[in-house]
Structure 1
Amino acid sequence: MTSAAVPLPDEGLAEAGQGRFTESPTGLLNNEDVSDGEDEEGGVSAEEEEDGQRDDGQEPDEESEDDSEDDEDSDDDEPVLKYSRIEGSVPEVLKKDSASAVAVSGNRLLALGTHAGIVHVLDLSGKRIKSYKPHLASIVDIEFDETGEFIATASIDGQVYVRSLATNEFYTFNLKRPMRTIALEPHFASKRSTRAFVAGGLAGNLILYDKGWLGHRETVISSGEGPIWQVRWVDGKTTGSGGFIAWANDLGVKIYHPDSRTILTFIDRPPNSPRAELFKPTLHWQDESTLLVAWADYLKVARIRTRSAASSAGAANGNAAAALAPYAVEVTAVFQMDACVVAGIVPHPMPPELTVVEDEEPVDTKSTHSKAPSTRTDGTAATADSGASSSKQKLPIPQPHLPRRKSVHIPNAPPLTTFLLLTYIPPPSLLTASNESDEPPEAQKRRAAERPELRIVSRTTGEELANDVLGVRDFEKWGCNEYSLALVPGEVGGDDKEKERCYVVMSPRDLVIVRKRDRRDRVKWLVERGKWEEALKEVEELERTEDLICNHTKSGGEVDEKAPLNNDDDLSVQAIGQKYIHHLLSEHDYAKAASLLPKVCGRGKTKAIAQRWEEWIWEFAGRGHLHAAIPYVPTDAPRLDHVVYEMVLGHFLGQDLDMLLQTIKTWPREIYDVAAVVVAVKAKLDKLEAGSPVEKHEGKKVPTRQEEVVLLMECLAELYTANRQPGKALPYYLRLRRPNVFELIRDNNLFTDVQDQVLLLVEFDHELMEKRKKEKKDESKRKSEAIELLVDNIHSIPINRVVQQLQKRPDYLFLYLDALVEQDPHLVAGFADLQVKMYAEFATDRLIDFLRTSNYYNLEQAYKVCKDRDLVPEMVFLLGRMGNNKQALTLIIERLGDVHRAIDFAKQQNDDDLWEDLLRYSETRPTFIRGLLENVGVEISPVRLIRRIKNGLEIPGLKEALIKILQDFQLQIELLEGCKTVLEGDCGELVDGLHKKQSGGFWLSAGSKCPVCSESLQHPATGSSLTLLFLCRHVVHASCAAGGNHLPLPTDPILRGIGYGGDSARGISATVALESLIRPRLRQGCPVCHAKDARVNAALDNEPGNGNPLRPLGFMGRTR
């Protein structure tokens, strides 16, 4: 197995090899520390060791070459583990004493046994919790139970001692012979426990002690096979096996099942193994069914499986003891180390993404390099020969009957472990069982020991994954048995350092805690090697993870700056990022350096963040590469000093006008001084318009003068708009032909500002319209937006100023005046003559309408304009308005030849002389005669026209014309007769209705009231009971009407019924006579209607009957 160099500068560990190691900033396990320790204790110094190596014949040049190669390898490989000494009380304890045994409990307490027989209980930081002295000599083994309450120790003074840390309970046994090992029952502290433990020593007896009614009873499990070097007990509560006990003696390793009291298997030592007292075995239960065995230079993995019923029966036929064993043991792997021995072994977790799954069927892998081990599973003692006797094999050693393995990912599966080995490099002579007495005296002299190594070895392939050399104090003095490796239980892969899985390495003068390197350590390693980009990525992920933890532990609140949990400024994104940026700047990689600014400087509103941004921006500016940093300059959170932003804008003004415009559009106006930027931009614009040469920049496309002028005008327009000065931006928008200029004017009420920009505004609008027409957009119904704006705001933009500016473009002037006419013709009364010219030139078809509707133009000037353009219809109209009807008619007849127009003109003028002229002119023109006949009306008699026709004159269509005249007359007669019939019928119906209403009766109820006095008509309170009924359908008391108090009364209906009424009481004539007497006395007629008329018209005449169409219809007699 090769040794890969893995330097750990921060922990001061040496690289793999003969005492070569790197320097440590912390002074931990480094060369200087070790040398000082050696000088004080009388050991070998570094210089003496180097001289000794040279005296042994090693060439310095070869060593330096090896060192350089190892250094190169160390730079490439990242360490896996990190190391730190356990301080606290440990240095004081080991100053006068030395450590001999160590154990760690499940609750992460550390028990340290010393050669003075003292037990020190510590935490992992080295703080002493308790100390007691149970022995008079060296403690060679120490163990916790699974709860960490009881500690068991074994000493060479022949005693074993078990003590509770929580109570005064303790047990002590004196076995009279030096003890080597002890193991407690896993659930020793349980109430149901029998307080069982197993111990062994140089006497060769492995004795199980369990407590009964009369004290502890002893059960000898094994004896007569040499000293018991180590024993370990594992619980079986998960598998229900009851647990297993494994121990090692001079012959090998055995596994015992306490429940069945059966030895399951025997794993023998390889032949020619080194002496057991020099290289002790190490047993470690990886889980309840897997035992790791490390002895000298060999590693073995034993797996306990449940025996099937068939195999149990088969075994029973051959061996009665085997029939009692419900379990079988299989050696699944055997490895041999290269030139080193194992002082300690523990499982080490592999990455969880790769989990090895074992198939049930083993695969026979043949090898020509080693002998296949013989593994018995029948419960009897069997040997597992490693085959190392024939030749020394390098790791790995292929073994037959190994289970097939494949790498798959299983959710929630426990990670398969590699091996973490604490190794020791002994002299080559000690690896064999040769007799030292045969060697010369020089060879038997004690040599200085090598530094111990911590190696990670793959379980599946045997490949060495990592190798770290430990520079413990006084390492030259210690042998293999002086070192020990203990596992600190914890969560595999956990981020909580208080619960993470770690290890403790013990030497007589040191306690070293070993942890898996985390991201923070990886960041340090990357920084030390200048791998800035990887380090920055790692620290970003680290801070993101720590921020999540902070968010879970805090109850709200915003954090402006990231504060790593460890408060290590050197491992923050800012610290590493700034170093990385400095490195990139030194390499002239400005673009990449600038891209790191957001990460390094951060985001937030604090002053520190803003200051950090400003410092880096000035740094880039000082190096002449400000353009690289500009894309990342923040405008908010943080907001920098306005000078920084103005510097950026000034850079763009001189180098890149396109970027200047884009920046002005995107940046908020409040972060820089707009007025100062406007001054600078206007100065450059004036300079260009004055004809100064255009500046050239290498590597860039040089814009033309016109392009630069356009860009500068756009910048000024944006700046004025952002500064709330749209009036100053308007001229630039007009010059730039921006479509949003009309919205700008309306939204900001800039009508006064546009007074002197009318021509530019209209020209721009028509350019837009032409552009839309070319793009095939429907613009036929679209009016000029500029004209509409001018017309709608004549109070802010006077008409006279618009007309004055549009004189240069008559077409625009016509559109403007025409729009004014459509809105209100009176607005352009003073420009009527100008409008006649505009219509005559640009809209001839609309001139006649204007001439008819307007009364403000000069007729003679208008006639001259029309005459100049030979506009006959307009000339006819104007001649008619001027009273020259005959000349107008002559133009119609001679120039137009339109009989219908001539007839219409004659009708409009309604002049008999004009009709006579038309008839006279038509006498010799058949077409006009026919036209007159077809369109004759009330203005001219057809007979008059027919009589003027000369004999012999041929008139085409005369017959049809005459027939049409006769038909028209017949139609008129029929229409008149029909109208007469309808009129007579309507009159008869109306007369009948009137008569019926006047002669009909009137219905009154008993409760009807007079509308004047509101009293009952049938029973008046006072006055006469005579009641009057008017034609307006109002019924009132006679006393309520003016002049109705002294009216004659009609004959009572009862008297009239018996013949006392006289002639005056009979018939209609009597009623009419009575009415004739009553009517003259009623001066105002119906009082209700009279009062209503008085309210409507107070000037009515008060004379009786005047203006009152109503008359009394009759009267009603007395009421009963």
Structure 2
Amino acid sequence: MVKAYPAGHLQPEALTAKTKMVSSRGASSDDDEEEQTLHFKRLSYDAQRLLEVEGGSCLAVHDKFLLVGTQVGNIHILDHQGNRTKTLTTHTTPVSHISIDEKGEHMASCAETGDVAVHGTASQETNISFQFNEPVYFCVLHPHFSSDSKRRFVIGTDKIIYYQRNFFNHYKTSILHQGEGAVRTCSWNSRFAAFATDISVVVFDMTNIAVICKFKRDQAPTRHPEFYPSRLAWMDERQLLVGWADRISLCNIKDKMIRAQSSTSSFYLEISSMFTTDDIFVCGLAPFGSNIAILGTEKLADGWENTTQMLFQLLEPHNKYCTQLSSNRIPLNMTSKLRTNFMLNCLTSEQRFFILSNSELVVIRFADKDEHIDRLIGEKKYEEAMQVMVNCSDEIKRHGQLSVGKSYLNHLLETERYAEVGPLAQRIFGSQTDHWEDQVFSLANRRLCYTVAHYIPCQRDKKLSSEAYEIILNEYIHTRPNELPNLIRRWRGLYSLETIQNVIEERFKYSPDVYLEEAIGLLKTDQGQYADALDIFLKIGLGKEAITLLHNKFDFLKDRLLQCLLPFMKVDHKEAAMFLAKHNYYSVKQVSDQLRHHKEYLLEYLLCKFTKDPQALDEGFHDLLMEHFATDGEFALLQFFRKSNKFSLEKALEICEKNGHLRATAYLYERMGSLKKALAIITEELRDVEQAIEFCKDQDREDLWTVLTSFCVKQPDLLTVLLSRIGNYIDPTGVIEAIPPGLQIPNLRDSLVRILHDFKLQIALRGSSNKIFESNRCTMFERLHDVRRKGISVTEDAVCEICNHRIVSRDMSRSVRTATFACKHTYHMPCLEGQDELTCYICQKKNSAASDFSEYYNN
């Protein structure tokens, strides 16, 4: 596919299938990494004309403007679109370097002939000029030159000359480094500055004017520094990037833990990454988040370079290697084969790169989110475009989720990917009912409403117009009747019942369908025509729907159900039987009369009724159920016997003996009172001593234990079981005495040990119980004694309950003995004479239990 680029744009030739970049924050991770496209644009307007006439020699970039030095010595100030705003005629020979401070208020420039100028970009107040008799390679201002009181800057010739202003506004100079040939490059970042000579790189602490580190150039002698100069760039305030030919180093400046006395700096430099590029010689370096942007020439397989084209690459550095994230050829006008005539600058605030050659100025930027979405839409990658819309909504200006989503919907419909239409519409429309209605009306013409039917809003507070729901239902009536009932259930109350019912009935006339009948039944239910709805559900065999209707509207349908009981059972006889058994509105006789010719249905109903209330069935029904349970097995029959008391014992005994149900037979004999016969079946026929022991224990009769013992004595193997179990229920001595001498009993010793153990345990339990009883008795007696010792208050107004005279007399000579009972009744003792026992007269008269509190007090 050929991409079209606007006028003034270059078309890059991609070396890789994809161009990948990390996020603007520079965090390299799988979540942030995304596919983007590089945009190459040649600045036109004044920039292009100036470079064609004068030729470019150096470049400096700032957030506000660009500074372009030319071969004729002029410095042009351009805006970022390439329009010239000002021209400085500072030099007469090619400008070799330009430096700008961070605020963009001052700049410094130098020419090959030794001219150096420092001046303001907007005023001439701080203009300074120097003349050297040797080549000057750079003049770099302190990054905060405008606010720096010392107005510091450095100049590079064959030495590093440091300038700072003194108290009298005169500049003081000092040489920081020399003796290694030309100092060709400098990069100053706040406190630290790096300088590159033909031999080494020197890093300075510019606050203390101290060398932090110096490391030598590591390149083959054939790669002369004039043609392969060092390139320096700061990744951040303490991370330096150094490029030499095809070798790149990443250096970190760190604080020293302990500063040596001989050292003038408290920092040291550590090379954290060093690697050789595979296919490029470095012409320019720039940081890009945590990655590296490189401009250079292509390295050929034989080690030489291809100078006919330039490459622009993004690399992710590692310890001893790098990962190439992208690589693109830049078809510049290669009017010069000298690699030193190409330079790369980065505007980090906007993530844009500027490439200067002799004849053109090219801007490289990554596509913004809107352009990224345009590309994805053009490539039909709508899902990726939607994801970008969600993740980067703050960065998108031109596109909206709704517009992109609608384009995606149209694409799905065109490519007949109908299953994806509904979920996507829900994502983009949400609860916006107007957009949903527009989409429904649009799909109706193509009979594709079913693609969104299960996703449109159907809440009471977020619903579409009734026409929208009716359009979709109409489509289902004619094309998808099998899905119509579920839709009618889901959309209750959102459409006109009469309208939809008329359409269904009209369709049903010439195309009968069970689903259409079900839909009619649902509509009749919603209209309150419950009897008609029930008839329809039973007719088409919808037992679950019929039972739901009966549960909800039983008061309206209880009489109608009795008229159609047999069809109701035919639909789902198990659920129907449970429903009928649950409702006591119908008597057993009413239901059984209608089902008497259908034994299966009748039995199912009787079983459900018996489970709910066994006493609700008459004896005849119990006998019928007994015959049914007899065929299900002995266990089911026994369960029935234990729950029922209305069946015929004689008939039950006959059935059990006929079918060989011995346990059930023993149970029946037990119930009839023939305990010994029941025990005989358990022991002689079942030979189940365990059950026999349980049987004797439940009956608690000594004669049964004797019968069991007599039987087990004849069977030594059964006697072992009996001896090991009876110690907790009867005195085992009787069993032991009944054993005839000389009888061989298996495991007799263990059984006797078990009996003795149980006997000791019972004695211990009885002794402990006696101790607990005695303790509780003493405690309760003490409490009773304390209660009885308490006095009973007799007030001054108290009178004898027999003579009605005052109990308390102020004249002590007339006082008599009195008796006060626990019931608070008080008497004169003489009044109680003649009674056999000292009891309360009133309480005894009321046939109440007389109080045994016989203490009394003399007054």
Same fold (TM over 0.5): yes
Tell me, in whole angstroms, the C-alpha distance in 2 between the residues paired with 1:471 and 1:630.
Answer: 52
Cα deviation, residue 504, structure 1: 2.8
Residue pair 2:231, 2:284 contacting (<8 A) in 1 also: yes
C-alpha change, 1:718 and 1:290, in structure 2 (3 Å) is closer
1:110 equivalent to 2:66? Answer yes
2:216 to 265, 268, 283: 268
Q: Which residue of 2 aligns with 1:537?
A: 387
Aligned counterpart, 1:763: 563
Match of 2:159 in 1: 205
Partner of 1:505: 355
Residue 152 (structure 1) shift: 1.5
Distance 1:304 1:633 in 2: 61
Deviations, residues 416-449 of structure 1 (Å, cap 9, x unaligned): x2322111237999969xxxxxxxxxxxxxx962
Q: Deviations over 1:782-810 (max 9, x none)?
A: 479xx9xxxxxxxxxxxxxxxxxxxx99x
* Distance of 1:740 and 1:251 partners within structure 2: 94
For 2:339 and 2:45, the matched residues in 1 are separated by: 26
Deviation, 1:741, is 7.4
Aligned-pair distance for 1:663? 1.7
Matched with 2:150 is: 194
- Matched to 1:286, the amino acid is M
Q: Whole-Å Cα distance in 2 between the matches of residues 127 and 271 of structure 1?
A: 43
- Corresponding position of 2:735: none
Please identify which structure carries the higher strand content: 2
Give the CA deviation at 1:172.
1.8
Residue number in structure 2 paired with 1:487 = 346
**Following TM superposition, by how much is the alpha carbon of 1:181 offset from its aligned partner in structure 2, in angstroms?**
0.7
Which AA in structure 2 matches 1:481?
Answer: T
Out of 175, 195, 198, the position equivalent to 1:247 is 195
Quickly say closer, same or farther: Cα 1:715–1:207, change in 2 above 3 A: same
Residue of structure 2 in register with 1:347 after alignment: 287
SS across alignment from 1:278: coil
Question: In 2, distance between residues paired with 1:296 and 1:780?
Answer: 96
Change (3 A) 1:683 1:468: same
- The correspondence for 2:204, drawn from 256, 266, 272, is 256
Distance 2:237 2:16 in 1: 42
Deviation of the 1:127 alpha carbon: 5.5
Q: In structure 1, how many angstroms separate the alpha carbons of the residues matched to 2:432 and 2:52? A: 53
Letter in 2 for 1:715: A
User: Is 2:123 the partner of 1:180?
Assistant: no
Within 5 Å, give how 1:910-949 maps onto structure 2.
Answer: none
Residues 227-262 of structure 1, C-alpha deviations (whole Å, 9 max, x = no match): 2211222323xxxxxxx3322222222233445544
Q: Distance in 2 between matches of 1:70 and 1:284?
A: 25
Cα separation, 1, equivalents of 2:579 and 2:400? 68
Deviation of the 1:175 alpha carbon: 1.9
Question: What TM-score, normalized by structure 1, do the two folds share?
Answer: 0.44
Residues 251 and 268 of structure 1 are in contact (CA less than 8 Å); yes or no, is this contact kept in structure 2?
A: yes
Q: Would you say 1:154 and 2:13 are equivalent positions?
A: no
Aligned pair 1:234/2:182, yes or no?
no
Match of 2:39 among 83, 90, 99: 83
Name the CA distance, whole Å, in 2 between partners of 1:567 and 1:773: 60
Alignment of 1:406-805 (within 5 A): 417-425=290-298, 449-477=308-336, 479-490=338-349, 500-516=350-366, 520=370, 522-542=372-392, 545-546=393-394, 565-567=397-399, 572-583=404-415, 585=416, 589-599=417-427, 603-606=431-434, 610-619=437-446, 621=448, 627-632=450-455, 645-646=469-470, 648-654=472-478, 657-667=481-491, 669=493, 671=495, 674-683=497-506, 708=514, 712-720=516-524, 722=526, 725-726=527-528, 730-733=531-534, 736=537, 760=560, 763=563, 774-775=577-578, 782=585
**What 5-or-longer segments of structure 1 have no aligned partner?**
1-8, 10-21, 35-66, 237-243, 317-322, 350-416, 433-446, 491-499, 550-563, 689-693, 696-707, 751-756, 788-807, 810-1120
State which of 173, 178, 181 in structure 2 corresponds to 1:218. 173
Paired AA for residue 418 in structure 1: N
Cα distance between partner residues in 1 of 2:553 and 2:323: 81
Q: Which amino acid aligns with 1:158?
A: G
TM-score, length of structure 2 as denominator length: 0.56
Residue 437 of structure 2: SS of its match in structure 1? helix
- 1:296–1:228 Cα change, 3 Å: same
Amino acid aligned to 1:146: E
Check if 1:26 corresponds to 2:27: no
Distance 1:177 1:652, change over 3 A: same
Asked if the contact 2:138–2:156 (Cα under 8 Å) also holds between the matched residues in 1, the reply is yes
SS at match of 1:572: helix
- 1:772–1:779 CA contact under 8 A, matched in 2: no
Looking at structure 2, the residues matched to 71 and 292 of structure 1 have their Cα atoms a distance apart, in angstroms, of: 25
Change (3 A) 1:220 1:466: same
Task: Compute the displacement of 1:471 (Å).
Answer: 2.8
- 1:977-1056 to structure 2, matched below 5 A, reads none
The verdict on how the C-alpha distance between 1:731 and 1:573 changes in structure 2, with shifts beyond 3 A counting, is closer
Aligned partners of 2:185, 2:321: CA distance in 1, in Å? 25
Larger Rg, first or second structure (1 or 2): 1
Q: Which amino acid aligns with 2:249?
A: K
Q: Is the 8 A contact 1:225 1:251 kept in 2?
A: yes
2:232 and 2:49 map into 1 onto residues whose CA distance is 31
Separation in structure 2 between the aligned mates of residue 779 and residue 422 of structure 1, nearest angstrom: 87
Shift of 1:342: 0.8
Name the Cα RMSD after superposition.
Answer: 4.7
2:286 partner amino acid: V
Measure, in 2, the Cα distance between the counterparts of 1:779 and 1:570: 55
Check the 8 A contact 1:102/1:142 in 2, yes or no: yes
Q: Secondary structure at the match of 1:450?
A: strand
1:296-342: CA deviation from partner (whole Å, max 9, x where unpaired):
222233444444547x35xx5xxxxxx44544444444333345321
Whole-Å separation in 1 of the counterparts to 2:51 and 2:8: 16
Quickly say closer, same or farther: Cα 1:453–1:731, change in 2 above 3 A.
closer
Rounded to whole Å, the distance in 2 between the matches of 1:743 and 1:330 is 82
| Contact 1:614–1:640 under 8 Å retained in 2 | no
SS state at 1:469 partner: strand
1:638 positional shift: 9.2
CA contact (8 A) 1:78 1:525 kept: no
Take 1:214 and 1:731, find their aligned partners in 2: how far apart are those partners?
108
**Identical aligned residues as a percent:** 18
In the alignment, structure 1 residue 140 sits paired with structure 2 residue 80: no
Q: Report the alpha carbon displacement of residue 210 of structure 1 after superposing the two structures with TM.
A: 1.3
Q: Write the letter of the residue equivalent to 1:763.
A: Q
- The 1-side partners of 2:279 and 2:533 are apart by 89
Letter paired with 2:354: V
Cα distance per residue 1:166-185 (max 9 Å; x no partner) = 54332222224332211112
Counterpart AA for 2:503: A
CA positional deviation for 1:73: 7.4
How far off its partner does 1:730 sit? 4.8
CA contact (8 A) 1:79 1:466 kept: no
Distance 1:600-1:104 versus aligned 2 partners, 3 A rule: same
Per the TM alignment, residue 620 of structure 1 is displaced from its structure 2 partner at its CA by 5.2
For 2:509 and 2:486, the matched residues in 1 are separated by 21
Provide the secondary structure at the position in 2 that maps to 1:481.
helix
